[in-house]
């Protein structure tokens, strides 16, 4: 037996059988439609990129520990893309002058990270990437926040997750002005705060000690990260706070949006390239209270390619988390019977008539039906079983009688109803159940 090839996919990757594809396609097509109502256009790039594209701005941990990379036969160091933003920035930079601004782009690429597979973390996953470059940052930030909730609404999950908003400039102001930390210490402290929920209170305190945070500073951190927006406004007057005030003024003018958005000083975002507004969309269920996706404003990505900087804002949403969300709230439709008609064959000699009926059904002007024909002649009972396994809605039954009358008997597999229909009348039948 050991000579046979294994049937399992590579660790941390998935096979998508048709029933899995139904879910994936439904999610992605819902996302596409939703995002396109805001005038965004889809783009795509290659799965392999030069290694150096990620060395520049992708987090160090990813490049050191999680990047799939190798050298090709021409000795080029290549990486399987671990995120889409560098590709997007490269493509924008390549046509920086020609592309009409603002740039509204999205993509749903597959990405690779060498991780120990666990719930929600796979080696190959798909990620929706939405980016908006150019324009007034305030209006652009607002649009992206709108989009986070538009997507949830179109998935059927309105109210199930909130968009929690913060601002990097406010955080920077807090660490440098209120705590008077230097930049490297501020970065370390922010990482500790970001990791707090994951690592637990004890490890968090040890971490702060190690960085050299005093008791007094630690108390200030406590106050800041539990502050209401009113407290922030009065105690931390800075550009970041101003941006938040303006953004929430727009949000509060939109009664369909404001119930689902709120300020949260604990939102930090791991990636180093964010420079302004940041946000995370949190599942509101008590059992599942965690970040579904997030993003923020970045300034300098296009500049890495020697082009004039364009400020942008965007987010990424992984397919695994999204699928969990859709399952938790039962948002997936019932795909039910996916084949419209199965055309039977009980006698070899009926083959040509079977093909004629099937072609008629496939080419009805009113409705493009999904039609499968029998591929083996067998008894009627056997044909019915096959039709049922193939999840057909209707069976088109062909016998001597039907051929003579140039008609077909249509059996509805859900109700069991059966009617004889002349071939020229097939277009009048309603095949939608």
Interface residue with a copy of itself among 26, 28, 62, 90 (CB under 8 A) is 90
Supply the DSSP symbol for 118. Answer: B
Nearest residue (CB) to a copy of itself, 171 versus 361:
361
Question: Rounded to whole angstroms, how far apart are CA atoms 149 and 166?
Answer: 16
426 binds a copy of itself (CB under 8 A): no
Site string for a copy of itself, 162-201 (x = CB under 8 A): ----------------------------------------
Nearest residue (CB) to a copy of itself, 207 versus 353:
353
**Touching a copy of itself, residues 400-419 (CB under 8 A):** none
**Total of chain residues touching a copy of itself, rule CB under 8 A:** 96
Question: Rounded to whole angstroms, how far apart are CA atoms 263 and 230?
Answer: 10
Smallest CA-to-CA distance from 335 within 22, 18, 31, 17 is with 22
**Touching a copy of itself, residues 254-313 (CB under 8 A):** 254, 256, 304-306
365 binds a copy of itself (CB under 8 A): no
Question: Rounded to whole angstroms, how far apart are CA atoms 318 and 83?
Answer: 11
376 binds a copy of itself (CB under 8 A): yes
Interface residue with a copy of itself among 211, 250, 384, 423 (CB under 8 A) is 250
How many C-beta neighbours within 10 Å does residue 337 have? Answer: 17
7 binds a copy of itself (CB under 8 A): yes
Interface residue with a copy of itself among 27, 53, 238, 278 (CB under 8 A) is 53
Taking the complex as a whole, the smallest distance from the CB of residue 168 to a copy of itself amounts, in Å, to: 21
13 binds a copy of itself (CB under 8 A): yes
Taking the complex as a whole, the smallest distance from the CB of residue 242 to a copy of itself amounts, in Å, to: 15
Instruction: State how far Cα 11 lies from the chain centre.
Output: 22
Kindly give, in sequence order, each residue whose CB lies less than 8 Å from that of residue 290, ignoring residues fewer than 6 positions away: 282, 283
349 binds a copy of itself (CB under 8 A): no
Question: What's the Cα-to-Cα distance from 132 to each of 139, 164, 267, rounded to whole Å?
Answer: 11, 19, 21
**ω into residue 166 within 30 of 0, thus cis?**
no
Taking the complex as a whole, the smallest distance from the CB of residue 348 to a copy of itself amounts, in Å, to: 9
367 binds a copy of itself (CB under 8 A): no
Instruction: State how far Cα 142 lies from the chain centre.
Output: 20
Nearest residue (CB) to a copy of itself, 378 versus 412:
378
Interface residue with a copy of itself among 23, 30, 49, 318 (CB under 8 A) is 49
Residue 288 near residue 328 (C-beta atoms within 8 A) = yes
Interface residue with a copy of itself among 309, 386, 409, 412 (CB under 8 A) is 386
Taking the complex as a whole, the smallest distance from the CB of residue 237 to a copy of itself amounts, in Å, to: 23
**Touching a copy of itself, residues 326-345 (CB under 8 A):** 338-339, 342
Cα distance from N-terminal residue to C-terminal residue, the chain: 47
Which own/partner pairs from 387-391 qualify as long-range (CB within 8 Å, at least 24 positions apart)?
387/342, 387/344, 387/413, 388/413, 390/339, 390/342, 391/336, 391/337, 391/338, 391/339
Q: How many residues does the chain have?
A: 433
Interface residue with a copy of itself among 203, 355, 422, 428 (CB under 8 A) is 355
Residue 396 near residue 387 (C-beta atoms within 8 A) = no
105 binds a copy of itself (CB under 8 A): yes
Smallest CA-to-CA distance from 111 within 129, 94, 93 is with 129
Taking the complex as a whole, the smallest distance from the CB of residue 292 to a copy of itself amounts, in Å, to: 22
Interface residue with a copy of itself among 26, 28, 62, 78 (CB under 8 A) is 78
Tokens linked to 316: 């990424």
420 binds a copy of itself (CB under 8 A): no
97 binds a copy of itself (CB under 8 A): no
Tokens linked to 314: 């965007």
**Touching a copy of itself, residues 107-166 (CB under 8 A):** 110, 112, 114, 124, 132, 134-136, 139-140, 142-143, 146, 150
50-64: buried (b, 16+ CB within 10 Å) or exposed (e) per residue? ebebbeebbeeebbe
Taking the complex as a whole, the smallest distance from the CB of residue 409 to a copy of itself amounts, in Å, to: 19
369 binds a copy of itself (CB under 8 A): yes
């Amino acid at each position: 037996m050991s000579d046979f090839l294994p049937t399992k996919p590579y660790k941390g990757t998935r096979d998508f059988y048709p029933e899995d594809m139904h879910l994936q396609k439904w999610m992605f097509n819902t996302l596409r439609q939703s995002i396109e109502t805001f005038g965004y256009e889809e783009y795509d790039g290659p799965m392999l990129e030069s290694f150096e594209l990620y060395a520049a701005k992708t987090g160090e941990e990813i490049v050191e520990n999680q990047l799939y990379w190798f050298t090709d036969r021409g000795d080029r160091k290549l990486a399987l893309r671990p995120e889409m933003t560098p590709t997007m920035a490269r493509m924008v930079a390549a046509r920086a002058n020609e592309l009409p601004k603002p740039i509204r782009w999205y993509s749903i690429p597959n990405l690779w990270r060498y991780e120990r597979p666990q719930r929600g973390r796979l080696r190959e996953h798909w990620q929706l990437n939405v980016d908006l470059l150019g324009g007034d940052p305030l209006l652009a930030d607002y649009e992206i926040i709108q989009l986070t909730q538009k997507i949830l609404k179109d998935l059927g999950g309105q109210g199930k997750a909130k968009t929690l908003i913060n601002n990097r400039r406010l955080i920077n102001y807090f660490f440098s002005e209120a705590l008077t930390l230097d930049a490297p210490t501020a970065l370390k402290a922010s990482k500790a705060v970001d990791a707090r929920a994951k690592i637990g209170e004890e490890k968090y305190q040890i971490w702060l000690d190690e960085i050299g945070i005093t008791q007094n500073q630690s108390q200030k951190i406590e106050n800041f990260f539990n502050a209401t927006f009113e407290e922030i406004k009065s105690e931390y007057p800075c550009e970041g706070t101003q941006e938040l005030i303006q953004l929430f003024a727009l949000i509060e003018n939109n009664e369909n949006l404001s119930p689902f958005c709120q300020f949260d000083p604990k939102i930090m975002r791991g990636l180093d390239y964010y420079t302004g507004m940041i946000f995370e969309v949190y599942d509101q269920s008590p059992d599942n209270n965690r970040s579904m996706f997030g993003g923020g404003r970045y300034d300098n990505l296009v500049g890495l390619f020697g082009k004039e900087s364009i400020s942008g804002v965007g987010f990424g949403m992984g397919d695994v988390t999204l699928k969990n969300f859709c399952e938790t709230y039962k948002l997936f439709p019932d795909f039910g019977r996916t084949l419209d008609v199965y055309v039977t064959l009980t006698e070899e000699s009926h083959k040509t008539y079977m093909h004629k009926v099937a072609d008629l059904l496939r080419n009805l002007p009113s409705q493009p039906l999904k039609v499968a024909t029998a591929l083996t002649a067998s008894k009627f009972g056997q044909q019915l079983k096959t039709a049922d396994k193939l999840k057909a809605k209707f069976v088109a039954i062909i016998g001597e009688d039907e051929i003579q009358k140039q008609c077909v008997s249509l059996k509805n597999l859900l109700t069991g109803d059966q009617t004889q229909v002349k071939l020229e009348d097939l277009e009048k039948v309603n095949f939608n159940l």
